[in-house]
């Protein structure tokens, strides 16, 4: 399924480069939800994520003719969204720091142990944004290390390090040790 989706996406990228409106719309429908999920993981706010992705699409469509390889589109478009989110985060850091000081930490209830998919989603949501994004791109989006590095605009070594830390944190959370370990 992933191979077919990638092949379709590559075809749409090639057609979208020529200005084919239907191909552009299909490309946005195909890649857009994944970019929104990525931005939401990074920003923690769906409304801000929608704004970031919308702005990123303008940049993506403008830069599409310069993209050398259609196969690079998933990582390249995700990188553009990552950079948009980084700008938003940078602009909001002062406000978030103040809010963090004023807002007491809330306990999040762990889902029932028999729903493994919900437990995994819950555990990923507990990770720091950078680890959650890395884990999601690698495992859920099936990107290779190099693609994740491009998408997050970080070195491959950092991707490996984040994956290792995230795996350990997920293991601790899913084994019920999350309360005893601080996640970084």
Closest to 23 (Cα-Cα) out of 8, 35, 7, 33: 8
Q: What is the pLDDT of residue 95?
A: 61
Summarised one tens digit per residue, pLDDT across range 83-97 is 999 888 877 665 655
Q: Provide CATH 1.10.10.10 ranges for the chain.
A: 106-184
Mean pLDDT of 118-138: 87
H or E stretch at 109: none
* Measured distance CA(117)–CA(171) in Å, rounded: 14
**Measured distance CA(62)–CA(85) in Å, rounded:** 18
Fold of 106-184: Arc Repressor Mutant, subunit A (1.10.10)
Rounded to two decimals, what is the model's pTM? 0.66
At residue 178 the predicted structure's pLDDT band, cuts being 50, 70 and 90, is very low
pLDDT of residue 60: 96
Which range, 82-96, 108-122, 129-143, has the best average confidence (pLDDT)?
A: 129-143
Is pLDDT larger for residue 103 or for residue 56?
56
CB atoms within 10 A of CB 49: 23
| pLDDT attached to residue 53 | 96
pLDDT tens for residues 161-176? Answer: 999 999 999 999 888 7
Measured CA distances, 184 to 21, 131, 164 (Å): 44, 9, 12
**Mean pLDDT for the chain?**
84
Q: What CATH number does the domain located at 1-103 have?
A: 1.10.1740.10
Share of the chain above pLDDT 70, in %: 82
The residues of the chain that CATH labels 1.10.1740.10 are 1-103
């Amino acid at each position: 399924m992933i191979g077919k989706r990638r092949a379709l996406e590559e075809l749409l990228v090639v057609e979208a480069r020529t200005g084919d409106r239907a191909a552009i719309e299909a490309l946005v429908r195909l890649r857009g939800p994944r970019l929104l999920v990525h931005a939401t993981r990074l920003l923690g706010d769906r409304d801000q994520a929608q704004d970031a992705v919308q702005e990123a699409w303008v940049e993506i469509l403008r830069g599409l003719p310069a993209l050398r390889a259609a196969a690079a589109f998933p990582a390249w478009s995700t990188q553009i969204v990552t950079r948009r989110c980084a700008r938003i985060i940078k602009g909001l850091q002062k406000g978030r720091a103040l809010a963090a000081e004023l807002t007491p930490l809330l306990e999040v209830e762990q889902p029932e142990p028999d729903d493994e998919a919900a437990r995994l989603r819950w555990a990923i949501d507990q990770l720091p944004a950078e680890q959650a994004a890395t884990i999601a791109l690698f495992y859920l989006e099936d990107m290779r290390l190099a693609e994740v590095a491009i998408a997050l605009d970080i070195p491959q070594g950092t991707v490996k390090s984040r994956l290792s830390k995230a795996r350990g944190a997920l293991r601790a959370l899913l084994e019920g040790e999350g309360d005893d370990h601080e996640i970084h």
